[in-house]
Amino acid sequence: MEPIRVAIIGQGRSGRDIHASYLRTDDRYRIVAVAELDEHRRTLAQQEFACDGCDNYKKLFRRKDVDLIVNASLSRDHVPITLDCLRHGFNVLCDKPLAENPKDVDKLIAASEKSGKLLAIFQQSRFVPAYQQLRRIIDGGVLGRIVQIDVQVNGFARRWDWQTLQENMAGNLLNTGPHPLDQVLQLAKYDGVPEVWCHMDRVNTFGDAEDHVHLMMRQAGKPAVSMEVSSCCAYPAFNYNVYGSLGGARIIGAKLEWKFFRPDEAAAQQLVREPLSNQEKRPAYCSEQLPWHEESWTPPAEDAETFRVISRYYYEMLYRFLRDGGPLEITPQQVRQQVAIIQLCQKQNPHIYTRWAKKTKA
């Protein structure tokens, strides 16, 4: 079968170092063109990928050999460029963040439906091996009812590039946040937009967007969520901690651990209303030794390079969708839920996102 012919808009860290870096190694795809304003980057891409180059993405619309456009432009350009590509009849894979507000996502969905072309979003962290295994453990039921999900994606860094400016759709929640937010929303299985509380701060950044985020969410009958995305944590952490009625699980780095007990193996207990005593009739604390089962999982050797393997799994999924009619596992509707939550977070922090403060006063 012929490979999927790809044009990439943008040759920055995402367009070159993530998308092109992977696609050049996958025989199911072929890079036929790049659109890049910077002449040096454009020439380098033409040499590295043996493809055509142009200085304006609109020139791609003249081509008849493009099956998929990857929009790896600056975040602020994701919506207008994706909309333009869809309206010109191209399948589009857009980088995250897709948009800054749900209305823009609705425009993109409408354009996709009208043109009959694909709108996909590169939320590749859905395919982190340990996270995929965690989903299987939760869905298997051994942890019981999931009560709470804690996520930390933290480190310590000062930053002064374009992704620190609000005018560029920047800040930790839009830069890094879409990845863990997408993951926890799939685990929590919220209907629509849950109740949201978010604290943002601007600490070490040189720009005007936030670099510290603490987000909490809840919805009746669903797990509570606590998520941190901070650049002022001196003890870096990429951790998951899942609380369940029969046990729990955690991800530390690439490793998953979980422990649980089986109710039929635990001692039968009943409520005692009087103060407890031990065998010597002395005061006793209410405690027991549960028969814990403890297990762990680490990714196979071929999946050890997490950053690269999640691109592979994403593009494998996309190939199945485009060539074999397989499911699109990350849908625009799911991403719309994520975007709506991010907008709520910004509205709750008018000391940073002052445009919301102005609208409130008006």
Q: What is the pLDDT of residue 358?
A: 61
- Per-residue pLDDT band at 315 (split at 50, 70, 90): very high
- Per-residue pLDDT band at 70 (split at 50, 70, 90): very high
Domain ranges of the chain: 4-122+310-330, 127-297+338-356
Kindly tell me if the per-residue pLDDT of 359 is higher than 70. no
Q: What is the mean pLDDT of the chain?
A: 94
Report the predicted TM-score, pTM, of the whole model to 2 decimal places.
0.92
Domain at 127-297+338-356, CATH from 3.30.360.10, 2.130.10.10, 1.10.10.60, 3.40.50.12280: 3.30.360.10
Q: What mean pLDDT comes out for the span 128-137?
A: 95
Q: Which residues contact 345 (CB under 8 A, 6 or more apart)?
A: 173, 196, 198, 200, 213, 215
**Alpha carbon 319 to its chain's center:** 20
pLDDT digits (tens, 9 = 90+) for 167-179: 889 999 999 999 9
Third-level CATH fold of 4-122+310-330: Rossmann fold (3.40.50)
CA distances from 319 to 13, 86, 110, 120, 253 (A): 23, 19, 23, 12, 28
- Per-residue pLDDT band at 360 (split at 50, 70, 90): very low
Q: Residue 189 has which token pair?
A: 């299985």
Higher-confidence residue: 328 or 286? 328
Kindly tell me if the per-residue pLDDT of 69 is higher than 50. yes
pLDDT digits (tens, 9 = 90+) for 145-197: 999 999 999 999 999 888 888 888 999 999 999 999 999 999 999 999 999 99
Q: What is the pLDDT of residue 356?
A: 76
Beta bridge partners of 8: 34, 70
- Phi and psi at residue 279, to the nearest 5°: -65, -25
**pLDDT more than 90, % of the chain:** 85
